[in-house]
């Protein structure tokens, strides 16, 4: 997940522990990534009630609830992408 985001968003930087996947591994993970993206796209933030920081925290919490297997680094990358997209 983090690898996929970093490939498209170089501003996120590269962590020393980042693992870059070859095309076969990326293709094998594509259904899982699509599932996470589906959950992310379904998260509705009421921007009339929250600011960007609170909306991003809400997004991160909902992704964490839906996908408890994601580690803090993956959640941070997803939240950073969400925040960047809404700026």
pLDDT band at 24 (very low <50, low <70, confident <90, very high): confident
State pLDDT tens for residues 25-81: 878 888 888 888 889 889 999 999 999 999 999 999 999 999 999 999 889 989 998
Residue 44 exposed, middle or buried by CB count within 10 Å (0-12, 13-18, 19+): exposed
pTM of the model: 0.73
Residue with tokens 């809400």: 58
* φ, ψ (nearest 5 deg) of residue 47: -70, -10
- Tokens read off for 54: 């609170």
């Amino acid at each position: 997940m983090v690898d996929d985001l970093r490939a498209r968003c170089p501003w996120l930087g590269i962590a020393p522990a980042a693992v870059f996947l070859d095309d076969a591994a990326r293709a094998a993970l594509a259904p899982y990534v699509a599932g996470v993206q589906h959950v992310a796209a379904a998260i509705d933030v009421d921007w009339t009630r929250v600011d960007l920081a609170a909306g991003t925290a809400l997004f991160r919490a909902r992704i964490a609830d839906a996908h408890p297997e994601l580690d803090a680094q993956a959640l941070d990358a997803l939240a950073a992408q969400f925040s960047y997209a809404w700026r």
